[in-house]
Amino acid sequence: MAVKSVVDTLANLPESELVEMRDAYKAQAAKLRFETEQVEQALEKQAKKRGSRSSQPSGRSRTPSSNGSTGMTRRKVYALVREIGQPVTPAEARKILAARGIEVEAQSLRIHMQRLVNRDHLLIRDDDGRYEARPESQAPLTDGEEADEAEN
């Protein structure tokens, strides 16, 4: 008796189920990429603390870069909205990030989300000001699109 491959077994499932599985796996992958980036930023933050402990002002809840940015990029905002999986306002997204220990201004999120709507066409905005990933937008921003992030 021949052993079926995973692909053969999956190919026997209804297309709608396969699409649902694919979308769920892609959302999980986006979440893992987002979380990996957060861990990498935490490691960088620790390395900076070890190197310049006395130069950091006390009482700051975020670590801005030299240009004042908190490191939130459109890619990270897109991954967050996909991870949430339902329409979200910038204020709600900010609360979710704050619960994770990430402080970012709601206005910064709003700008990134609006660019993801107008420039990247990865999010849609409803009449209530809530943003969600377009159903057909499955891939995260590519390296070529990252260059635009320098404009934040």
We report the CATH number of the domain holding residue 123 as 1.10.10.10
- The first and second tokens of residue 103, run together, are 């402080």
**Helices 90-99 and 106-118 meet at what angle, rounded to 10?**
120
Identify the domain containing residue 102 by its residue range.
16-45+70-141
Of 37, 40, 130, 41, the residue nearest 85 (C-alpha): 130
Residues 6+ apart with CB under 8 A from 26: 138
In a domain, residue 127? The reply is yes
In a domain, residue 8? The reply is no
Of 135, 131, 134, the residue nearest 109 (C-alpha): 131
| Count of structural domains, the chain | 1
pLDDT value at residue 138: 54
In angstroms, rounded to a whole number, what is the distance separating the alpha carbons of residues 36 and 54?
28
Number of CB atoms found within 10 A of residue 93's CB? 23
**Tens place of pLDDT per residue across the chain (152 aa):** 666 788 888 889 999 999 898 888 888 887 888 888 888 888 888 887 877 544 444 443 444 443 344 578 888 999 999 888 899 999 999 998 888 888 888 888 899 999 999 998 899 999 999 999 988 755 445 544 444 444 44
In a domain, residue 55? The reply is no
pTM of the model: 0.48
pLDDT value at residue 141: 53
pLDDT value at residue 90: 92
For residue 88, the cross-strand partners are 131
To the nearest 10°, the Cα dihedral for 4, 9, 11, 16? Answer: 180
DSSP secondary structure code for residue 58 in this structure: T
pLDDT value at residue 59: 40
